[in-house]
Structure 1
Amino acid sequence: MRGRLLVLEGPEGVGKTTQVAALLRALPGAEAFREPGGTPLGNEIRTLLLTPDDVKIGARAEALLFMAARAQLVERIESRLAVGVTVILDRFFLSTYAYQIVGRGLPVEEVRRANALAVGDLRPDLTVLLSCDLEVARTRMVARGDLDRMEREGPDFHARVTAAFLAAADPAWQAAHPEVGPVARVDASGPPAQVTGRIVDLLAARWPETFRSLAESQYSGPLSSSSPG
């Protein structure tokens, strides 16, 4: 049986990294990767893209660097899915829509074609879109310290990115962007364990044969409602 590709998305400060780690602990045999990264080439590109320094990276170059890292990672993801592994991915093409198309203003069709070259037919089985109040997310991000190049962008940029992510929860948007796959919005406010419970409940509702026992054994029933897209 082919594995499933689960993607966690959202703007800065919503807790993606925390929830990827929690799901990795909750799902025996699952593997996790992040974008950009997950391969030696991807890790080098990540350092180039996210390290705040004096190297200026134009919007088109930035998008293509993300695509190059993604193209290298897709081969690794496909190999794991082929042997039945559940892959949890921290960011994928929805982030490109939010950051490079809406945030940077790049032409949508050109970026979509570049992504098609990078990923081929690979689509997420589900993208979990974590969302919380913009100011709460900003406070979390600043509290972490050591902000990367993207995190250091101004509030107007992050407001555009957040709006782009929220738009992806609309079923009509998803129908117009089939390359992103299904997206379900989950409330990322509250304690991390509570957010994990919401995600597990979502997975159990979508694939009860696989995840219902996990929800029942580790969590005492639904902890919160989520909004499937």
Structure 2
Amino acid sequence: MTSARRGLLLVVEGPEGAGKSTQVRRLGAWLNRRGRRHAELREPGGTPLGERIREILLDDPAREMSAAAEAALFIASRAELVDRVVKPALERGTVVTLDRFFLSTYAYQVHGRGLPEDEVRAANMLATGRLTPDLTILLRLSSEEGLKRADARGARDRMESVGDEFHQRVQQAFERFASREWQHAHPECGPIVAVEAGESEDRVERSILALLASRWPDIFAE
């Protein structure tokens, strides 16, 4: 973060079914009711190019691609979103809430697919121009419960359809990300705070708002 930046970049992360999209929508609705300038975004997506990439990555569960190609597509979508939407919004003083960012790439492509972390990290830094989130809210949920929730929504997308062992590796990676040691070694990810996602949507929302109010009372205090 630089002194010239007036907005906030808040990222919501977690495994499949943790409720990321739900909490991003709820936070946006809360900000809207209070007249706060905000933008709700998602990865991959958020731009015409990003939404096309999202279709390629997620829509066809049977589509095959290499791990490197998959990572490159996610990072291409991120580069476009940051350059065209996120940075201009932050410069206008907007509270940006983002469904997935750095941590998902580390969880899915590094720990899940086995790609080299140093190479993925360098690509991330290039794509974002070293933009650092002000806070990442990590929704904590077991992979088993998350996939049950995903199944309840209907047919799984391409990433949800990967085997259970893959999702266990992803969930274990997310658990590590909240540790001080991991955050110290990955300063580009900014501060990360875990919130239990096994509660009701209302309780999870209250936990998130309490966390945000403790850090930015001028924006989030009731």
Instruction: Please report the TM-score for the alignment, with normalisation by the length of structure 2.
Output: 0.93
Q: Distance in 1 between matches of 2:28 and 2:221?
A: 16
Q: Distance in 2 between matches of 1:53 and 1:187?
A: 29
Q: 2:162 aligned with 1:158, yes or no?
A: no
Structure 1 stretches of 4+ moved >4 Å: none
How many residues get paired? 213
- The one-letter code of the counterpart of 1:167 is R
1:3 maps to what in 2?
7
2:176 maps to what in 1?
167
What secondary structure does 1:27 align onto? helix
1:227 maps to what in 2?
none
Q: Distance in 2 between matches of 1:40 and 1:134?
A: 31
- The one-letter code of the counterpart of 1:100 is Q
Q: Is the 8 A contact 2:62 2:158 kept in 1?
A: no
2:95 maps to what in 1?
86
2:17 maps to what in 1?
13
More off after superposition, 133-142 vs 174-183: 133-142
Q: CA deviation at 1:22?
A: 0.3
Q: Is the 8 A contact 2:147 2:160 kept in 1?
A: no
Q: 2:69 aligned with 1:65, yes or no?
A: no
Which fold has the larger relative contact order, with Cα–Cα distance below 8 Å and residues 6 or more apart in sequence?
Answer: 2
Structure 1 unaligned blocks of 5 or more: 214-229
More off after superposition, 131-140 vs 183-192: 131-140
Q: Distance in 2 between matches of 1:99 and 1:27?
A: 30
Q: Distance in 2 between matches of 1:129 and 1:27?
A: 20
Deviations 1:135-189 (A, max 9, x none): 2222111111121100001110000000101100001100100111110000111
Q: Distance in 2 between matches of 1:2 and 1:88?
A: 14
Q: Distance in 1 between matches of 2:46 and 2:150?
A: 23
CA RMSD of aligned residues (A): 1.1
Q: Distance in 2 between matches of 1:13 and 1:201?
A: 22
Equivalent of residue 43 in structure 1, options 26, 31, 51: 51
More off after superposition, 28-37 vs 157-166: 28-37
Deviations 1:6-64 (A, max 9, x none): 00000001111111110000013211110000000000000000112543210000000
Structure 2 unaligned blocks of 5 or more: none
**1:175-214 matched pairs, under 5 angstroms:** 175-213=184-222
Q: Distance in 1 between matches of 2:47 and 2:135?
A: 23
Q: Distance in 1 between matches of 2:164 and 2:50?
A: 28
Q: 2:106 aligned with 1:97, yes or no?
A: yes
2:64 maps to what in 1?
56
Q: Is the 8 A contact 2:142 2:171 kept in 1?
A: no
Q: CA deviation at 1:116?
A: 1.0
Identity, % of aligned positions: 53
Q: Distance in 2 between matches of 1:25 and 1:15?
A: 15
Instruction: Please report the TM-score for the alignment, with normalisation by the length of structure 1.
Output: 0.90
Deviations 1:74-115 (A, max 9, x none): 011000000100000000011000000000000010111111
